[in-house]
Amino acid sequence: METNGEFVVHLEEFMVRPEKASVYWLEVDAAGNVKLSAAPLRVDTLLRNRLLEM
């Protein structure tokens, strides 16, 4: 669970200063809960590093 401060930081990144190398989206569940999500656009380096660690 995030604190209010952590939520504000993530919301600011999401709305005001999005990173060019990331994609952002909102999810709303049936109960009306909102989830902010982000993921890198390029995952090749991330995947290579994780696979080589195995």
Domain ranges of the chain: 4-53
- What local confidence, expressed as pLDDT, does residue 14 receive? 77
pTM of the model: 0.59
d(C-alpha 33, C-alpha 29), whole Å: 6
If you average pLDDT over every residue of the chain, what do you get? 82
Query: For the ranges 3-7, 16-20, 21-25, which has the lowest average pLDDT?
Result: 3-7
d(C-alpha 19, C-alpha 13), whole Å: 8
d(C-alpha 11, C-alpha 18), whole Å: 10
- What local confidence, expressed as pLDDT, does residue 31 receive? 93
